[in-house]
């Protein structure tokens, strides 16, 4: 998003301040949109995105009291915390963030809430140079992203943890790191390490749960790779709503032919030239379908797909920015593994391939 919008948002969040926290004390739960647990039980943990909330739940189990800030279907690209969410953050022992410049709201939220606990930055579990290389495969980043300094997003805290977080400048990388199960494994390991350091008494439990989940992520990666190997390389070409699947596409040999919104974010505005170029790319590369993420409106995608003469997949959206809501409507996409399986099936079926059954351990 433009710098002016980000500055406006920071001022808006900071203005909530003490008044917001006082209001939140009157509420009956930590967050109307968040996944939360009884704050009296265990280490108090707040996670920003729905994926991080799921990872923290898998690793933390009953040893943590967990609150997720973003609701299913929400996007970190345009999120403002509520007073109740600021209250949950003010009481937390640990904050888990994605990093890589995703959560532009977090510095204002920390300031407004007075959070002074430990920050776990999930991207620190990954190789920053590899992330940059994969991001660069799609060409030059957009100016507003390239100018973003991750280190400037978080103010220093007296306990040093926030300052340590700010020292990690991951440079110009696509922030949707979780879309790759291989990246997710590194994020989970970073979360397990951070929770163990914050709560040494339960370190062995965190490690054991993390290992069980890492085994599942490895099986998920193996299953996905086997499915896409059945598709000829020339046919593995994808257009998405925005540039949200970069690492997933890289891992499974899928060519990124472009996105409807020319940005890492899902609220950018394409120009007429951008749209014309995308339609030309769809036609030249023989793209079979245009996919829309669940956090985006499908209207522009339908227009572009019609102009290019291809199918648009919007009834069963891809869950990239957010996990789905619990229940049948999201097709089991309310967990990271479920959402990733769902996305894989939707892509393959649009390409005319029937996926193999899942391993029993993932069902």
What percent of the chain clears pLDDT 90, i.e. is strictly above it?
63
pLDDT above 80: residue 28: no
Higher pLDDT, 141 or 308: 308
Which domains does the chain show, CATH number per domain? Answer: 3-203 (3.40.50.1980), 219-362 (3.40.50.1980)
Measure Cα distances from 82 to 30, 69, 106, 128, 326 in Å.
10, 9, 13, 32, 22
Task: Determine the Cα–Cα distance for residues 180 and 337; give it in Å rounded to an integer.
Answer: 11
pLDDT above 50: residue 4: no
Q: Within a 10 A sphere around the Cβ of 103, how many other Cβ atoms?
A: 25
Q: How sure is the predictor about 171, in pLDDT bands with cuts at 50, 70 and 90? A: low
pLDDT at 359: 94
pLDDT at 169: 42
What pTM value is reported for the model?
Answer: 0.82
Give mean pLDDT, residues 205-214. Answer: 98
Q: How sure is the predictor about 281, in pLDDT bands with cuts at 50, 70 and 90? A: very high
Measure Cα distances from 136 to 119, 122, 155, 171, 324 in Å.
28, 21, 29, 12, 29
Residue whose tokens read 């040494």:
200
pLDDT at 228: 98
Assigned token pair, 293: 């993420």
pLDDT at 74: 81
Q: Within a 10 A sphere around the Cβ of 238, how many other Cβ atoms?
A: 23
In 3D space, the residue among 282, 286, 298 whose CA is nearest the CA of residue 242 turns out to be 298
pLDDT above 90: residue 351: yes
pLDDT at 218: 98
Higher pLDDT, 362 or 264: 362
pLDDT above 90: residue 156: no
pLDDT at 37: 47
Task: Determine the Cα–Cα distance for residues 251 and 267; give it in Å rounded to an integer.
Answer: 26
Q: How sure is the predictor about 148, in pLDDT bands with cuts at 50, 70 and 90? A: very low
Q: How sure is the predictor about 295, in pLDDT bands with cuts at 50, 70 and 90? A: confident
pLDDT at 138: 63
Assigned token pair, 227: 């499915």
pLDDT above 70: residue 2: no
Give mean pLDDT, residues 8-31. Answer: 40
Give mean pLDDT, residues 45-65. Answer: 98
Give mean pLDDT, residues 48-52. Answer: 98
């Amino acid at each position: 998003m433009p710098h002016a919008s980000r500055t406006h948002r920071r001022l808006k969040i900071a203005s909530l301040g003490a008044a917001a926290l006082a209001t939140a004390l009157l509420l009956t739960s930590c967050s109307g949109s968040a996944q939360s647990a009884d704050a009296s039980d265990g280490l108090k943990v707040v996670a920003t995105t729905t994926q991080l909330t799921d990872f923290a739940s898998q690793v933390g189990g009953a040893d943590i009291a967990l609150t997720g800030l973003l609701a299913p279907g929400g996007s970190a690209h345009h999120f403002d915390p509520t007073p109740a969410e600021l209250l949950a953050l003010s009481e937390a022992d640990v904050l888990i963030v994605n990093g890589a410049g995703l959560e532009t709201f977090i510095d204002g939220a920390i300031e407004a809430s007075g959070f002074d606990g430990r920050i776990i930055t999930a991207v620190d579990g990954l190789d920053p140079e590899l992330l940059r290389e994969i991001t660069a495969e799609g060409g030059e980043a957009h100016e507003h992203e390239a100018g973003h300094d991750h280190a400037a997003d978080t103010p220093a805290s007296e306990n040093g943890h926030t300052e340590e977080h700010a020292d990690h400048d991951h440079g110009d990388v696509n922030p949707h790191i979780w879309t790759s199960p291989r990246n997710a494994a590194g994020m989970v390991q970073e979360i397990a390490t951070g929770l163990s350091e914050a709560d040494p008494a339960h370190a062995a439990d965190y490690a054991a749960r993390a290992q069980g989940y890492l085994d599942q992520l490895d099986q998920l990666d193996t299953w996905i790779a086997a499915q896409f190997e059945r598709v000829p390389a020339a046919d593995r070409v994808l257009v998405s709503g925005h540039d949200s699947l970069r690492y997933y596409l890289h891992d499974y040999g899928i060519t990124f032919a472009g996105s409807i919104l020319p940005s890492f974010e899902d609220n950018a505005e394409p120009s007429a030239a951008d749209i014309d170029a995308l339609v030309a790319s769809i036609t030249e590369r023989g793209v079979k379908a245009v996919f829309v993420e669940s956090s985006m409106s499908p209207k522009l995608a339908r227009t572009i797909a019609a102009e290019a003469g291809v199918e648009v997949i919007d009834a069963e959206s891809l869950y990239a920015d957010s996990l789905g809501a619990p229940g049948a409507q999201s097709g089991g996409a309310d967990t990271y593994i479920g959402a990733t399986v769902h996305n894989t099936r939707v892509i393959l079926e649009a390409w005319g391939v029937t996926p193999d059954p899942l391993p029993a351990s993932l069902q």
